[in-house]
Structure 1
Amino acid sequence: MTTETLARSPVIRLDPADNVVVAREDIAAGVSIPSEGVTTNHDVPVGHKLATRPIAKGDPVLKYNTTIGFAGEDIAPGDWLHAHNVLMDEVQKDYRHAQDYVAVELLPENERATFLGYPRADGRYGTRNMIGIFITVNCAATVARMISRYFDEERLADYPNVDGVVAFIHEQGCGMEQTGEPLDLLRRTLAGYIRHPNTAGALVCSLGCERNNLQRFMEAESLDTGKMLRTVTMQQIGGTKAAIEEGKAVIREMLEEANRIEREPASAEHITIGLQCGGSDGFSGLSANPALGKAVDILVRHGGTAILSETSELYGVEHTLTARAKSEEIGRKFIERIDWWLDYNAGRDTQINGRVSPGNQEGGLANVIEKSLGGAKKGGSTGINAVYEYAYPVTEKGLVLMDTPGFDPVSATGQIAGGANLICFTTGRGSCFGSYPAPTIKLASNTPMYTRMQGDMDLNCGQVIDGTKTLDEMGEEIFAKILATASGAPSKSELLGVGEEEFAPWQIGVLS
Structure 2
Amino acid sequence: MQLIARTRTGDTAVIRLNPLDNVLIARQALPEGLSLEAEAITVRQPIPSGHKVATRRVEQGQPLRRYGQIIGFASQPIEAGDHVHVHNVEMGDFARDYAFGVDAHTLPGSEAVFQGIVRADGRVATRNYVGILTSVNCSATVARAVADHFRRDIHPEALAAFPNIDGVVALTHGAGCAVDPGGEALGLLRRTLGGYAVHPNFAAVLIIGLGCETNQIESLLETQGLEASDQLRAFTIQGIGGTSKTIASGIEQVKALLPKANQVQREPVSARHLIVGLQCGGSDGYSGITANPALGNAVDRLVAAGGTAILSETPEIYGAEHLLTRRAVSREVGEKLIARIHWWEDYCRRMNAELNNNPSAGNKAGGLTTILEKSLGAVAKAGSSNLVEVYQYAEAVRAKGLVFMDTPGYDPVSATGQVAGGANLIAFTTGRGSAYGCAPAPSIKLATNNRVFEHQEEDMDVNCGGIAEGSTTIEERGAYIFEQMLRIASGERSKSEQHGYGQNEFVPWQIGAVT
Aligned to 2:58: 55
| Shift, 1:369, TM fit | 0.4
| Shift, 1:74, TM fit | 2.3
Q: Secondary structure at the match of 1:329?
A: helix
Residue 180 of structure 1 aligns with an amino acid whose one-letter code is G
Q: Is the 8 A contact 2:271 2:307 kept in 1?
A: yes
Aligned to 2:150: 151
Q: Which moved more, 1:272-281 or 1:206-215?
A: 206-215
Aligned to 2:126: 127
Q: C-alpha separation between the residues in 1 aligned to 2:11 and 2:162?
A: 54
- Equivalent runs, 1:60-71 vs 2, <5 Å: 60-71=63-74
The TM-score normalised by the length of structure 1 is 0.96
| Shift, 1:76, TM fit | 2.0
Q: Secondary structure at the match of 1:166?
A: strand
Q: C-alpha separation between the residues in 1 aligned to 2:245 and 2:353?
A: 46
| Shift, 1:354, TM fit | 5.2
Q: Is the 8 A contact 2:20 2:68 kept in 1?
A: yes
How many pairs does the alignment contain? 506
Asked whether 1:74 is paired with 2:67, we answer: no
Q: Is the 8 A contact 2:7 2:14 kept in 1?
A: no
Q: C-alpha separation between the residues in 2 aligned to 1:32 and 1:3?
A: 18
Q: Secondary structure at the match of 1:276?
A: strand
Q: C-alpha separation between the residues in 2 aligned to 1:100 and 1:167?
A: 44
Q: C-alpha separation between the residues in 2 aligned to 1:25 and 1:351?
A: 32
| Shift, 1:349, TM fit | 6.9
Q: Which moved more, 1:422-431 or 1:240-249?
A: 240-249
Distance 1:415 1:2, change over 3 A: closer
Q: C-alpha separation between the residues in 2 aligned to 1:97 and 1:439?
A: 34
Q: C-alpha separation between the residues in 2 aligned to 1:278 and 1:347?
A: 26
Q: C-alpha separation between the residues in 2 aligned to 1:506 and 1:270?
A: 26
Structure 1 gaps, min length 5: none
Q: C-alpha separation between the residues in 1 aligned to 2:50 and 2:120?
A: 48
Q: Secondary structure at the match of 1:345?
A: helix
Distance 1:160 1:5, change over 3 A: farther
Aligned to 2:246: 243
Q: C-alpha separation between the residues in 2 aligned to 1:5 and 1:475?
A: 24
Asked whether 1:341 is paired with 2:339, we answer: no
- Equivalent runs, 1:236-385 vs 2, <5 Å: 236-346=239-349, 350=353, 352-353=355-356, 356-385=359-388
Q: Is the 8 A contact 1:3 1:470 kept in 2?
A: no
Q: Secondary structure at the match of 2:225?
A: coil
* 1:179 aligned to which of 159, 177, 182: 182
Q: C-alpha separation between the residues in 1 aligned to 2:33 and 2:481?
A: 39
Aligned to 2:484: 481
| Shift, 1:73, TM fit | 2.2
Q: Is the 8 A contact 1:232 1:247 kept in 2?
A: no
Q: Is the 8 A contact 1:426 1:443 kept in 2?
A: yes
Q: Which moved more, 1:479-488 or 1:118-127?
A: 118-127
Q: C-alpha separation between the residues in 1 aligned to 2:385 and 2:358?
A: 30
Render the CA deviation track for 1:62-106: whole Å, top value 9, x for unaligned.
100001111222222211111111221001111111221113332
Q: Secondary structure at the match of 2:173?
A: coil
Coordinate RMSD, CA, aligned: 1.6
Q: C-alpha separation between the residues in 2 aligned to 1:222 and 1:423?
A: 26
* 1:408 aligned to which of 401, 411, 418: 411
The TM-score normalised by the length of structure 2 is 0.96
Q: Is the 8 A contact 1:56 1:73 kept in 2?
A: yes
Q: C-alpha separation between the residues in 2 aligned to 1:16 and 1:295?
A: 26
Residue 498 of structure 1 aligns with an amino acid whose one-letter code is Y
Q: C-alpha separation between the residues in 2 aligned to 1:311 and 1:214?
A: 31
Q: Is the 8 A contact 1:129 1:163 kept in 2?
A: yes
Aligned to 1:44: 47
Aligned to 2:96: 93
Aligned to 2:141: 142
Render the CA deviation track for 1:259-307: whole Å, top value 9, x for unaligned.
0011111111111110001111100111011110000011000001000
Distance 1:130 1:7, change over 3 A: farther
Residue 199 of structure 2 aligns with an amino acid whose one-letter code is H
| Shift, 1:350, TM fit | 4.6
Q: C-alpha separation between the residues in 1 aligned to 2:282 and 2:233?
A: 39
Distance 1:352 1:6, change over 3 A: farther
Distance 1:229 1:448, change over 3 A: same
Q: C-alpha separation between the residues in 2 aligned to 1:374 and 1:103?
A: 24
Distance 1:234 1:6, change over 3 A: farther
Aligned to 2:197: 194
Distance 1:83 1:26, change over 3 A: same
Q: Secondary structure at the match of 2:33?
A: coil
Q: Is the 8 A contact 2:191 2:395 kept in 1?
A: yes
Q: Give the fraction of aligned pairs with identical amino acids, expressed as a percent.
A: 50
Q: C-alpha separation between the residues in 2 aligned to 1:355 and 1:184?
A: 27
| Shift, 1:216, TM fit | 1.1
Q: Is the 8 A contact 1:161 1:261 kept in 2?
A: yes
Residue 226 of structure 1 aligns with an amino acid whose one-letter code is S
Residue 257 of structure 1 aligns with an amino acid whose one-letter code is K
| Shift, 1:347, TM fit | 7.7
| Shift, 1:509, TM fit | 5.5
| Shift, 1:232, TM fit | 1.8
Q: Which moved more, 1:341-350 or 1:463-472?
A: 341-350
Q: Is the 8 A contact 2:5 2:17 kept in 1?
A: no
| Shift, 1:455, TM fit | 0.9
Structure 2 gaps, min length 5: none
Residue 130 of structure 1 aligns with an amino acid whose one-letter code is Y
Render the CA deviation track for 1:290-332: whole Å, top value 9, x for unaligned.
1100000110000010000000111011111111111111111
Render the CA deviation track for 1:404-456: whole Å, top value 9, x for unaligned.
00111000000000000000000001101111000110100000111110111
| Shift, 1:6, TM fit | 9.1
Residue 120 of structure 2 aligns with an amino acid whose one-letter code is A
Q: C-alpha separation between the residues in 2 aligned to 1:447 and 1:9?
A: 16
Aligned to 1:435: 438
Aligned to 1:503: 506
Q: C-alpha separation between the residues in 1 aligned to 2:346 and 2:50?
A: 32
Distance 1:176 1:2, change over 3 A: closer
Q: Which moved more, 1:49-58 or 1:475-484?
A: 49-58
Q: Secondary structure at the match of 1:404?
A: coil
Q: Secondary structure at the match of 2:288?
A: coil
- Equivalent runs, 1:381-396 vs 2, <5 Å: 381-396=384-399
Distance 1:255 1:5, change over 3 A: farther
